């Protein structure tokens, strides 16, 4: 079956953490502004200030990664809870005579 989610997951075809950023979107603009500011400051700063900037951007990347993972896990759990709730209520759909 071509659309089997479990099979697609097994073969590594479902990668929730990989996604494209739509050109011109608010996220695209924010990423470009961040990258431009980082590049400018990296060129202008030297020594301890440059090391501090690099530490800041590294910490920011780590925080972002952890936050995305947390959001994905919480969303996945919420979806599973919704499915469980749907199936838990199926007895009420069938009326006995």
pTM: 0.63
Residue 64: how many CA atoms within 13 Å on its side-chain side? Answer: 8
Tens of pLDDT along the chain (97 residues)? Answer: 456 888 887 888 887 777 788 999 999 999 999 999 999 999 999 999 999 999 999 999 999 989 988 998 999 899 999 998 888 876 666 666 5
Distance between CA atoms of residues 51 and 60, nearest Å: 14
- Report the pLDDT value the prediction gives residue 92, as an integer from 0 to 100: 64
């Amino acid at each position: 079956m071509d659309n089997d989610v479990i099979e697609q997951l097994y073969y590594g075809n479902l990668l929730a953490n990989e996604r494209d950023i739509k050109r011109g979107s608010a996220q695209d603009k924010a990423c470009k502004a961040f990258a431009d500011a980082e590049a400018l400051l990296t060129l202008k700063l030297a020594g301890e200030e440059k090391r501090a900037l690099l530490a800041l951007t590294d910490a920011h990347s780590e925080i972002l990664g952890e936050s995305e993972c947390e959001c994905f896990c919480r969303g996945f759990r919420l979806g599973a809870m919704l499915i469980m709730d749907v199936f838990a209520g199926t007895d009420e759909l069938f009326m006995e005579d």
